[in-house]
Each structure stands twice: as structure tokens, then as C-alpha cells.
Amino acid sequence: MKIFTRFGEFILMLKGMFTKPENWRMYWKELMHQCVELGIGSLGIVSIVSVFIGAVSTLQTAYQFISPIIPRSVIAQIVRDTVILEFAPTITCVVLAGVVGSKISSELGNMRVSEQIDALEIMGINTKAYLVLPKILAALITIPLLVILAMTLGIWGGRFVGEVTGILPHEVFDRGLVEAFVPYNVKFALVKAYTFAFIITAIPAYFGYNVKGGALEIGRASTTAVVSSCIIILLADYVLAAVLL
């Protein structure tokens, strides 16, 4: 029963976000602030993860290709498709669920426990709209861009490692990249990115916003938020693949 109560509270939180802002300029400022916090703040980790994922993909795909009949450019095709379809959107968002999710949950949890949310409510501010909505919108703006960046860097990482290790010269890799390219895959990856962006902000925001207690509960909420987000991302990943591919 608890899961239904939580789901109901989650829906009510989302519903509560949509009211007329008290001051558009302040909301815009908060949105931009969140874009910087969530987007620019995650650039480093996304770049590192993507480059290494691409590099490892090239190495492991090449390792499994022992048949001389299959052209080496197929390695590039496989790296491209796995990075675009799975690694860039899903792995990036799972990593971001940890980085961004715990940040959102602990920030809101701390604000709740230290009565900062109450202080905003007393001022007559809709805290769901002012604190939660800009975070979700910022994620919907920045995370798809981060996923595109992750695709690019992942493929570049694969190409770079192929060249450096001599497994795959860059001319062959570049040829493989354009062979049998399906543009729909990029669209599909972006659909995933938008879905995951919502999950990794809305769920931690819910857990943080509804914290009751003290420091211990903030920690617990943060862990629950990250674990729940990761599980829901993986579930959504399966559902989207089953429905859209």
C-alpha cells in the first residue's frame, strides 16, 4: 500500500508545480541557475565516462571479432550503435542519477529539515513550483545535450583507442561509422534522454521534498532516491526499447 501512497504523493507534487509563478524573472533566474548546476556541473563526469565507454567498446568488440571474413569496419558500426542506442543515454543517465539525483535529494532534504522550505511557504511562494519545476526543466534542457555530447565523445573515444592500439586505423573506423547508419537511432536515444532526465530529477526531488527528521533521514532519502531512479531508468529503458524499436 505504501507504494500507492507514495505514487499518489508524487503525482500531487507534480500537479502542485503548475501554478502561475509569483515572479517570472525569479523563476527564470532559478531555471538558469539549475541549468548551470545540472548541465555544466555534470560535463566533467559525462565526458570521462563517455570516452572510456567508447574506448572499452572498441577494444572488447575487436577482441570478439576473430573471423577474417567480417570486415574490421563493422567494429566501428557496432561501437557507434551501442554507444548511440545504449551507452550514451542509459549509462550516462544512470551515472547522472547518482550525481544529480543525490544532489537534488540532499539539497531539498536539507532545506526541508532546516525549515527553509517552510520559510519560502510563509513568504507565499509555491515551493513545488519554485524549487522542483526548475530542476526538472533544467534537466529536460541539459541532459539531452549531455547525451549528444556523450554519443560524440563515446565514438571519439572508440576511434582514438582503435588508432592508438592499432586495432582499427581511423580511416577504417570513419568508413564504418557511416555504413548502415540509421538516423532513427539518434531520435530513439533522445526519447530515452528526455524520459531519463525527468526520472533522475523528479524522483529525487520527491524524496528530498518529503524528508521528515534529520541528517540520517536526508542520507536515507538520498540513497532511496538514487536506487529508485536507477531501477526506474532500467525499467523505462526496457519499455522504450520494446515499444519503439
The residues that touch another protein, with contacts defined as CB under 8 A, are 22-23, 26, 110, 114-116, 118-119, 121-126
Closest separation in Å from C-beta 114 to another protein: 6
Task: Select 119 or 178, whichever has its Cβ closest to another protein.
Answer: 119
Question: How far, in Å, are 133, 141, 149 from residue 196 at the CA level?
Answer: 16, 12, 16
Rounded Cα distance, 70 and 72, in Å: 6
Closest separation in Å from C-beta 94 to another protein: 28
Task: Select 106 or 228, whichever has its Cβ closest to another protein.
Answer: 106
Task: Select 62 or 113, whichever has its Cβ closest to another protein.
Answer: 113
C-alpha cell read off for 155: 565514438
Closest separation in Å from C-beta 29 to another protein: 9
Task: Select 23 or 165, whichever has its Cβ closest to another protein.
Answer: 23
Closest separation in Å from C-beta 151 to another protein: 33
**Which are the contacts of 135, defined by CB distance < 8 A and separation ≥ 6?**
34, 38, 104, 201, 205
Which long-range contacts does 25-32 make (Cβ < 8 Å, 24+ apart)? 26/130, 27/129, 27/130, 27/133, 27/134, 30/130, 30/134, 31/134, 31/137, 31/138
Closest separation in Å from C-beta 62 to another protein: 48
Rounded Cα distance, 80 and 84, in Å: 6
Closest separation in Å from C-beta 120 to another protein: 9
Query: Phi-psi region for residue 124, left (φ > 0), alpha (ψ -120 to 50) or beta?
Result: left
C-alpha cell read off for 233: 531508468
C-alpha cell read off for 13: 507534487
Task: Select 48 or 123, whichever has its Cβ closest to another protein.
Answer: 123
Task: Select 115 or 171, whichever has its Cβ closest to another protein.
Answer: 115
Task: Select 22 or 174, whichever has its Cβ closest to another protein.
Answer: 22
What does 217-242 look like in DSSP terms, one character per residue? HHHHHHHHHHHHHHHHHHHHHHHHHH
Closest separation in Å from C-beta 48 to another protein: 27
